[in-house]
Structure 1
C-alpha cells in the first residue's frame, strides 16, 4: 500500500510540475493549478476515472467560448470602425473557428499536457483539431475565472495576433495557390501551371519538387513530401517574390 501511495504522490507531483512549466513558459498569471489541470482534462479521461471524481474541461470550454467571442468581437469593433456588421461577423467567425484555435494550440504545445482516455490517446487525440480547439477555449475560461477578463483578453490577442491580421486582410483559411491566383489575376486573366521538375529519396520518404509557370514564364519552385505540398511551397515563394517586386 505504501508503495502505491508513493507512486500516486509522484504522479501528482509530476502533473503539477508539468503544468507549472506551462504556466512559466507562457507567463500565465494563474494561481489555481487545479483549475488549470481541469482545463487540460478531456471527458474521455474523466469517464475512465469516475471513481476518483475527476472533473473534465467541458464547462470551462463553454465559458471560454463565450469569453473568446466577446474578446474578438470587442477588439474588431474598436480597432476597425469602418467595418460593417457583416464584415465584423465574417472576420470574427474566421478567427474563432476550430482551424485557427487548433493551430494556435498546436503551436503552443498544448497536446502534451492533455489528459486523455486510453482510447482517445491511442488514436491521436492530442493532435485532434477539435480537442485542441476546445482546450484553447477551456484555458481562456480558466484565465477568466482565476484571474480576470483582462488577463484572458491579453492571452487571446497576443496569441491570435497573426490570425487577426490575416482575417483583416481576408487571407485567413486560404491556401497559397489561391492567394497567388488572386494576386496575379488582379490585372486580368492569367494562366498558372504547376509541373513536376524532380523527385528524390526512397519510395517511402520521397521529396517532390514542383515549379510554377505563369503565362508560360518560369517562376519559383518548391519542395514537399507530396506534390500538393510542393505546389503550395512553390506558390508561397512565387507570391512572396511578386509581392516584393510590386512594392518597389
Structure 2
C-alpha cells in the first residue's frame, strides 16, 4: 500500500507531509469491504476526500477561467467549467497520472475492470486533489494540478466565437502585465451627421495606440487592433 502512495508522490512531483492522505485517496470502498471481511483493520477510503475534491476542483478551474478570460460571460464560463470537471474529463486527467494502476480495489471490483472505469478514475482524482489541499492548501493544488488541465482548457475554450480586438487586448494585457487597458477619447471633429472620433488606448507604460472612426466604439476597436500589433513585436513581447 505504501508503494502506491510513494508512486503517487513521484507522479505528482509532490511530497505529502501527512502519509495517510495519499493512501486514503487511492483506497476504493470495495477494498475496505474485503479488509473487514478478513477481520483486518480497515484503512480510510476515499469517499469523503472525493466529496471535498469535487468542490476544490470547481474552485480551481472556476478561478483559472475567471482570471484567464475576463471578457467571458457567466454562462460561457459555467459551460466551460462543466466540460472541464465532468466525469469523463477528470478520468482523462487521472489517466495522465496512471491512477488506475495505483488504486486499491477489492478483488471483485478489480476483476470487473474497476481500475479503468471513468467513475472510479474521476473519484480517485478528486480524492487526490483533496489530499493535496488538506496537506498544503489551494496554492499547492494549483501548482500540482493546473498544468494537467491546460490542454483541455485550450481545447474547450477554442470553440468560442471570434473575439473582438478589445477583448483580446484585455486578455493579453492582463495575462502578460497584470493590468487593464485604458481608453479615452482624445479628439472629435466634423459635422454631427459625420462625426469623427479618435480614441487612445494605453497598456500601462508598454503601449499607446490611437484609432479613428465614425463612432467611439469603432475607434476603440481600431486602437485595440493597433495595440495588439505593437504587443506582437519582439521587443515588447519580451518585457
Same fold (TM over 0.5): yes
Q: Does 1:37 align with 2:26?
A: no
Q: Distance in 2 between matches of 1:43 and 1:79?
A: 37
- Mapped contact 1:29–1:147 kept (Cα < 8 A): no
Runs ≥4 residues deviating over 4 A: none
Q: Does 1:79 align with 2:79?
A: no
Q: Distance in 2 between matches of 1:156 and 1:96?
A: 13
Q: Distance in 1 between matches of 2:142 and 2:15?
A: 12
Figure out how many residues of one structure are paired with residues of the other and give that number: 157
Q: Does 1:97 align with 2:83?
A: no
Q: What per-residue deviation string (whole Å, max 9, x for no partner) do you get for residues 22-44 of structure 1?
A: 21232113222221000000011
Q: Does 1:139 align with 2:128?
A: yes
Q: Does 1:57 align with 2:43?
A: no
In structure 2, the gaps of 5 or more residues are 161-239
- Mapped contact 2:27–2:44 kept (Cα < 8 A): yes
- Larger Rg computed on CA atoms: 2
Among 108, 129, 154, the residue aligned to 2:143:
154
Q: What per-residue deviation string (whole Å, max 9, x for no partner) do you get for residues 66-87 of structure 1?
A: 0000011111111101100000
Among 13, 18, 30, the residue aligned to 2:4:
18
* RMSD of aligned Cα (Å): 1.4
Give me the TM-score of the superposition, normalised by structure 2. 0.63
Relative distance call for 1:157 and 1:104 in structure 2 (3 A) is same
- Mapped contact 1:105–1:136 kept (Cα < 8 A): yes
Q: Which residue of 2 aligns with 1:244?
A: none
- Mapped contact 1:60–1:142 kept (Cα < 8 A): yes
Matches within 5 A, 1:118-137: 118-137=107-126
Q: Does 1:70 align with 2:56?
A: no
Matches within 5 A, 1:105-120: 105-120=94-109
